[in-house]
Amino acid sequence: MAGISEALPGGCRSEETDRVLRAAGWHPGRSVPTAEWERVLHERGGFAMHEAARRFLAEFGGLASEERGPGRTMARTGFRLDPLAAEWDDEIFDVLSEEAGAYPYPVGEADRRSTYLGIAPDGKVYAGMDSVTLLAETADVALEKLIEGIR
């Protein structure tokens, strides 16, 4: 199965994004189990993991970056790719899903827990807490935006 990272146009990501992901523990072919996240979120919040979330979390789940500071078009924000950050906030995700018109499955949080990250079945990544915004059309572009500070 091709990794999510191969979904970027041209099949590559910036050197900075690659550096930060590798420093966080990512490597080509990385695959971590997702079953425990899936079980806990289903039991505690009624979340139903879809294939896009499963693929994303298998490749990037558990990674975190605290790199902050100036970015290209906005400040860089740290993130933690742990879906359990939202384990008790199913009601927030219900509202975010309504606003997005999609079902973003929790994949982590950003900006010191002030924003949840979720991925929809079509691979779009959303960010929100009180309201939702489309962060990016793909997971790789979302990671690039978070790491490099791109609006």
Q: DSSP letters along 43-105, please?
A: HHH-----HHHHHHHHHHTT-EE---B--SSS-B--EE--GGGGTT-HHHHHHHHHHHTS-PE
CATH of the domain at 18: 3.40.1580
The model's pTM: 0.88
Q: Give me the tens of pLDDT residue by residue for the chain, a chain 151 residues long.
A: 344 444 333 346 789 999 999 999 999 999 999 999 999 999 998 999 999 999 999 999 999 999 888 888 888 888 999 999 998 888 999 999 999 999 999 999 998 878 999 999 999 999 999 899 999 999 999 999 999 999 8
Cα distances (angstroms) measured from residue 67 to each of 41, 50, 76, 106, 122: 28, 29, 7, 21, 28
Number of domains in the chain: 1
The parent domain of residue 38 ranges over: 4-148
Can you give the pLDDT at residue 3?
45
